[in-house]
Structure 1
Amino acid sequence: MEEENEILIYKKARIAGLLYCFVFAGGFFAEVFVRQKLMVYGDPIATATNILANESLYRWGFAISLLYLICNIPIALIFYNIFKRADKFLAALLLLFFLTGNTVEIVNIINHYTPLDVLKITSGVNGFNQNQSSLLAYLSLNAFTTGFGITLVFFACYDLVIGLLILKSKYLPKLIGILMLMAGVCYLTNSFSLFLYPEFAEKLFPFVLFPCFVGELVLALWLTFKGIKLLRYTYAK
């Protein structure tokens, strides 16, 4: 019975890895190939023109964002189930930070969709000209950027906690734990520089997020193709 349980844990880790890969790819697509591609910073009219000219792409960015946010929920539960043997308190913190960040992002994702509604609804409406509609849409996208920065604060805390759990449990290579700790620090640096020193944040981006990119990708791929070290998982009981 215990052996079956260990096999189940191994399978869950692989499932979490596959879901994590989708989350990583989906987030990269929605941010880099949709929002970053279509939003022209400081130019509401150009941004509105891009959104309307690429409406299908913009809608797919929203849909994929929703899908990866759904995937985050089982990932959080699987991680809690795996790491609670190493440290139940830290595992509970991981779960809370992960789900809180995910909830904030779910609420914030409406700011991705709203610009499309604004541009469609206000088109031809008396009292709205192109400049006003474009500005409203741009402000919503800007609000999304701020909300995403808030989201990353919670995911930074998750990264720090899972990094500690990886180092403590030894279920995964020590290097992955170090990379996740670095990712947490970089996410926090990115978010608080955005809130406190936006001009400085522009200079940091995207370099400050590179360690986050590496850490999240390595964790996702390792779980997918390697899983966890079952022997160490057994000894952690």
Structure 2
Amino acid sequence: MNVFNDPQSRRYARLTGAFYVTIAIAGGFSILWVPSQLQVAGDAAATFANILANRGLYAAGIGGEVVILVAEIMATAMLYFMFKPVNATLSFAAALARLSMVGVMAAMLFFHAAAYALADPGSTLASLSEAQRFDLAGLMLAVHDAGVWVWQIFFTIHLAILGQLVARSGRYPRLLGHAMTLGSVGYLLDTLSATVLTGSAALATITGVFLAIVTLAEVGFALWLLIRGPRPATPAPAFA
């Protein structure tokens, strides 16, 4: 437990980086790979046939999301204490925004569970026809996926603030911090393109550019934490 005693130490930073990497690996598995193996676009019957035939994989995907939530909670708390000396108020605001994101992600798991229960012939709604159950189960998955558009708003706020804390800390590369703040707009644009400004090819292109920037910045920051850790403190510009 001594590693948690000094938020400015290299060991503390490396552990924070380890949580970041855990989020990335578990997210790649649960959010990207598992759905690609089970979901069939536009075909609810095929999707839920895959889920019922691969119950272990579906459960593993949910388990991976739980791992993400645990790692997110730890990373959020550790980032708060790491950057509290830079600006306590903004560090707390960044933590609240990220925890709000975690709350939305946790709520999304209920819809995953509901979709599975509806698709299972032995569920409590077995009196419904198969088509009705699949329609309801498809709705649950759609609501689960819509949760992404909600948590991305909170994540935009978190990254915009965190990026400036990183840039002004004097202990991490300013370029990474500014890139995080700039690229954070990509998450907000992604939500807008999926909910309000649908079908805009130009917006999709711009969104992709910003998401590429923020992805590189986040990966770079995580690897910097994990491999190098904080530099000796140097004077940094204060917040106006």
1:115 maps to a residue whose letter is A
CA distance in 2, matches of 1:47, 1:176: 40
Structure 1 residue 215 corresponds to structure 2 residue 213: no
Provide the rounded CA distance (Å) in 1 between the counterparts of 2:149 and 2:168: 29
What is the Cα deviation at residue 163 of structure 1? 0.7
Is the Cα contact below 8 Å between 1:6 and 1:230 reproduced in 2?
Answer: no
Q: Deviations over 1:181-231 (max 9, x none)?
A: 233100010012212133348x83993643343222222111111111133
2:30 aligned residue: 30
CA RMSD between the two structures: 2.6
Question: Once the 2 structures are TM-superposed, how far is the Cα of residue 122 of structure 1 from its aligned partner?
Answer: 5.2
Indicate the residue corresponding to 1:46 in structure 2: 46
Mapped partners of 1:95, 1:182: distance in 2: 19
TM-score normalised by length of structure 2: 0.85
User: After superposition, where does 1:1-237 map in structure 2 within 5 Å?
Assistant: 9-121=9-121, 127-200=127-200, 204=204, 207=208, 209-232=211-234
Partners of 1:177 and 1:84 in 2: CA distance: 16
Deviates more, 1:74-83 or 1:207-216: 207-216
Shift of 1:126: 5.4
Give me the whole-angstrom Cα distance separating, in 2, the residues matched to 1:126 and 1:169. 58
- 148-157 or 178-187, which moves further after superposition? 178-187
Distance in 1 of aligned mates of 2:218 and 2:129: 43
Cα distance, 1:33 vs structure 2: 0.5
SS at match of 1:231: coil
* Equivalent residue pairs, number: 230
Divergent runs of 4+, >4 A: 5-8, 121-126
Structure 2 spans left out of the alignment, 5+ residues: none
Listed one character per residue, the Cα deviations across residues 108-151 of structure 1 (whole Å, up to 9, x for unaligned) are 22222221111115569654232222221111111011111101
Aligned 8 A contact 1:108 1:147 in 2: yes
* TM-score, normalised relative to structure 1: 0.86
Q: 1:8 to 1:213 in 2, by over 3 A?
A: closer
Q: 1:37 deviation in Å?
A: 3.5
5+ residue gaps, structure 1, are: none
CA distance in 1, matches of 2:192, 2:66: 25
Over 3 Å counting, the alpha-carbon distance change for 1:198 and 1:145 in structure 2 is farther
